[in-house]
Amino acid sequence: MQVTPRNVLALDVGMVRVGVAIASLIALLPRPLVTLQQDETFFEKLKVIVSEEEVGAIVVGYPRGMQGQQTQQTDAIVAFTEELKEHIIQPIYLQDEALTSKHAETELIARGKQYQKGDIDALAATYILDDFLREHPSGFEVTA
């Protein structure tokens, strides 16, 4: 039985943690989902999420320097994306993530609640996904 994808996932990839956000392919309203540790179990946990959430595409935050240049972190994300392709079959998109973590931290501070670094990562992934969806209003490829 083939499942029709219902959601798109975004990843804010860091050296220690990966923030994960999700949006329905119908409503296109991103929300934080979870923060995963960037460890030896990461790809297995992500595959479970992709399956359980019926994900049809994944968006990975793509960092660059303030002048748009490639950085050491950019190279790390390219390597991460290549490894991700070995574990999943869904299309992968890169999305500029300029200042998403700073924006997320500012929002969490404004809420006046206590938060952890993982909360910043998941919310930053939400901003990455929102930016991607706004830049692709007429759609993008998903796998069924």
Q: What is the pTM of this model?
A: 0.90
Domain assignment present for residue 79? The answer is: yes
Give residue 98's domain range. Answer: 7-135
Domain assignment present for residue 75? The answer is: yes
pLDDT of res. 33: 96
Q: Among 6-20, 55-69, 128-142, which range has the highest average pLDDT?
A: 6-20
| pLDDT bucket at 1, cuts 50 / 70 / 90 | very low
Domain assignment present for residue 30? The answer is: yes
Of the candidates 52, 42, 131, the residue with the CA atom closest to the CA atom of residue 93: 131
Dihedral sign from CA coordinates of 106, 107, 110, 116:
negative
Domain assignment present for residue 144? The answer is: no
Over the stretch 70-95, which tens digit does the pLDDT of each residue have? 888 889 999 999 999 999 999 999 99
Domain assignment present for residue 143? The answer is: no
| Distances 15 to 45, 77, 117 between C-alpha atoms, Å | 17, 10, 13
Tokens matching residue 93: 């998109």
117 conformational bin, left if phi > 0, alpha if psi -120 to 50, beta if neither = alpha
Total domain count for the chain?
1
Domain assignment present for residue 53? The answer is: yes
Domain assignment present for residue 64? The answer is: yes
Report the amino acid identity of residue 37.
Q
Residues across the chain: 144
Over the stretch 100-119, which tens digit does the pLDDT of each residue have? 778 888 888 888 878 888 88
Residue with tokens 């930053």: 124
111: Cβ–Cβ under 8 A, 6 or more apart, which residues? none
Q: Does 115 or 63 have the greater pLDDT score?
A: 63
**How far is CA 13 from its chain centroid?**
7
pLDDT, averaged across the chain: 90
Distance of alpha carbon 68 from alpha carbon 58, whole angstroms: 22
Distance of alpha carbon 71 from alpha carbon 56, whole angstroms: 29
The CATH number of the domain holding residue 52 is: 3.30.420.140
Domain assignment present for residue 110? The answer is: yes
